[in-house]
Amino acid sequence: MPYRRISKKIELLTIDNPATSNKIEWYNIVNAGKTELEYIRRRHGFNMEHIQASTASSFSQRPMVMEEPKYVFLILHFPTFSNKKIKAGEVDFFIGHGFIITLHNNNLPALTGFFNSCKKDATALASYYKDSSAILLAEVLDRLIKSCYPLLDKNSQEIDEVEEVIFSNEQKKAVGVILDLRHNIINIRKIFQNHKNILQKLMNLRSSIVPSAEVKKHYTDLVEHSKRIWEALDNQKEMIEVLNSTNESLLNDKMTGIMKTLTIFSVIVFPLTLLAAIFGMNARYMPFVEHPFGFWMILGLMFTLSMFMLAFFKSKKWL
């Protein structure tokens, strides 16, 4: 039977080509606890340090690859989209002759989807014909890495939308979107920072079934994908930084215009207030006060003074 559910958290897919004498057992373990880890430890005798690193409650802060005599232990992170934020999802691998074990918290849809599609039709896998766990690992990583392209496309689309918002004179609205985009791009960069180095180490994986040159070819393709993603992230980082600078410049320019208007208003109003205060004195011989049209004459004087100051500001090109 190619597929079997061993427990609530452990699934086993046996990739067995009848035309060959070898087979691959793929254990897919979700939210591994002590019971699940003890199960795989008994079957394969893994290092306890690696077993403890694979518990569902722990999260490794960096990817790693460690080679043991009978297996390779690998920790990798991949971006996952949740609540408009991109976060790191961890998947741990144990790879040995005839088996591969994946441990994760079910937060990587690409991995779950790939396992489910293999359950339906394993003949679509290159590893089905090669009987090599190294090739199967390359196929799993290929699916996980390619799942990042839609996230990059989403970032590019949002960058275009932010650009339209900025030049639609809605700079305040753009601030929050830019912050979210910068956060997402930085997170993906952190996730992919060491991928290329890890994949280059995996290029030296040895298989007793498949020639080393063929294994190397699969992982070389993965390195190229990793490079392309990193280049795209560099471009997106540069674009969002430029847009952020542009948005800040427009906000500063708008604020400068507001401050200029307020300053001019204050400068014009101040002498008028002073003039009103002077004519409000209880002096006995105040000019215009006793005149029948004194009120209108004082208003005219204020208006003339205002026009003179506006003309002065305009001549200085302050308006």
Report the pLDDT value the prediction gives residue 52, as an integer from 0 to 100.
62
Q: What residue segments make up the domains of the chain, in order of their start?
A: 3-251, 257-315
DSSP string, 96-137: ETTEEEEEE-S--HHHHHHHHHHHH-GGGSHHHHH--HHHHH
Comparing 286 with 228, the larger pLDDT belongs to 228
Residues 98-113 pLDDT 10s: 889 999 988 899 999 9
3-251 CATH pick, 3.40.50.300, 3.90.1260.10, 3.40.718.10, 3.30.460.20: 3.30.460.20
pTM: predicted TM-score of the whole model, two decimal places: 0.76
Report the pLDDT value the prediction gives residue 49, as an integer from 0 to 100.
64
Please measure the distance between the N-terminal and C-terminal CA atoms of the chain and give it in whole angstroms: 83
Distance CA 110, CA 107 (A): 9
Which overall architecture, per CATH, does domain 257-315 show? Up-down Bundle (1.20)
Spatial CB neighbours of 16, under 8 Å, sequence gap ≥ 6: 2, 23, 24
Amino acid type, 241: E
Distance CA 305, CA 272 (A): 8
CB burial of residue 85 (10 Å; 0-12, 13-18, 19+): exposed
Residues 226-236 pLDDT 10s: 999 999 999 99
Residues 7-36 pLDDT 10s: 899 999 998 888 887 888 899 999 888 888
CB 101 within 8 A of CB 94: yes
The pair of structure tokens assigned to 54 is 């694979």
Distance CA 26, CA 54 (A): 16
Spatial CB neighbours of 310, under 8 Å, sequence gap ≥ 6: 268, 319
Spatial CB neighbours of 124, under 8 Å, sequence gap ≥ 6: 117, 118
